[in-house]
Amino acid sequence: MLEGMDPRPVGMFDSGVGGLSILREFRRLAPRERTVYFADTAYFPYGPRDPGEVRKRAFAITRRLVEADAKLIVVACNTASAAAVADLRQLFDIPFVGMVPAVKPAARASRSGRVAILATPGTFDGDLYTSVVEEFGRGTAIDRVVGHDLAELVERGETDTPAAREAVRAALAGTVANGADIVVLGCTHYEFLEPAIAAEFPGVTVLGTGEPVAKRACALLAELGLEAPPDAQGALDLIISGNREAFLETLPGLGFAPREAAEAQP
């Protein structure tokens, strides 16, 4: 395959709409690439599920994306990355891009020396999170904040509503009062809550991973000679394991209006 001449799609998956925060950045940076996005809404949310169950779903979805001829897969979910990305790389002969909370840049940028990580229980329980904190969080006070029901709000399209404002205020008020000056978004769903967090805590810096992960995917495509042909036209295909209509109804409020037909996954 010649460099820049691989028309196959990039695969991407999450339990619901959260991974679209990665997809929007990827489409901005790589508009020629076709993407197959798997929304596993039948099993949403991943956060409170047993890691073994999340791993099983990650394997099944990866097989489906491989069947769709994906050339690279982005695990656009922190919980699934924590539970499965290491095993996926072992079992499948395809490049993967996973998610880790932005502990390193947060620790470097914090003026107070205290950083809040807003994530799901599944992300905090994984070895991946522990290793990242041990390597990059030394000398920084790390507050682990579980985002109860935040992903559910985003999944319903409530990203900057009074309910969303109240939820982020309840989750983060304590750690901000204790001096945290940076909030790291450790769940792709939470990326859509950045406006609400910024409005509630104007003095706090919010760090997401949408753009860095999208940049890593683009860099890996270039390194491996997997970029789309120069004359390719980007497209988005959707696979939805649960309620197709509910998922599609949420998209406009998140800045998406895909015209492509969504394929329902049995």
User: What residue type is assigned to position 75 of the chain?
Assistant: V
CA dist 116 and 73 (Å) reads: 29
What HEC string does 58-79 produce? HHHHHHHHHHCCCCEEEECCHH
Q: Which residues are catalytic?
A: 77, 187
State the DSSP code for 93. Answer: S
**Beta strands at 34-39 and 72-75: parallel, antiparallel or unpaired:** unpaired
Q: Give the rounded distance of the alpha carbon of 178 from its chain centre.
A: 28
Q: C-alpha angle 161/166/168, rounded to 5°?
A: 95
Per DSSP, what are the bridge partners of residue 262? Answer: 238
Asked if 62 contacts 32 with a C-beta cutoff of 8 angstroms, the reply is no
Peptide bond between residue 45 and the one before it cis (omega within 30 degrees of 0): yes
Residue environment code for 219-240, b if the CB has 16+ CB neighbours within 10 A, otherwise e: ebbeeeebbbeeebeeebbbbb
Nearest alpha carbon to residue 137 among 177, 186, 98, 97: 186
Characterise 161 by phi-psi region: left (phi > 0), alpha (psi -120 to 50), beta (else): beta
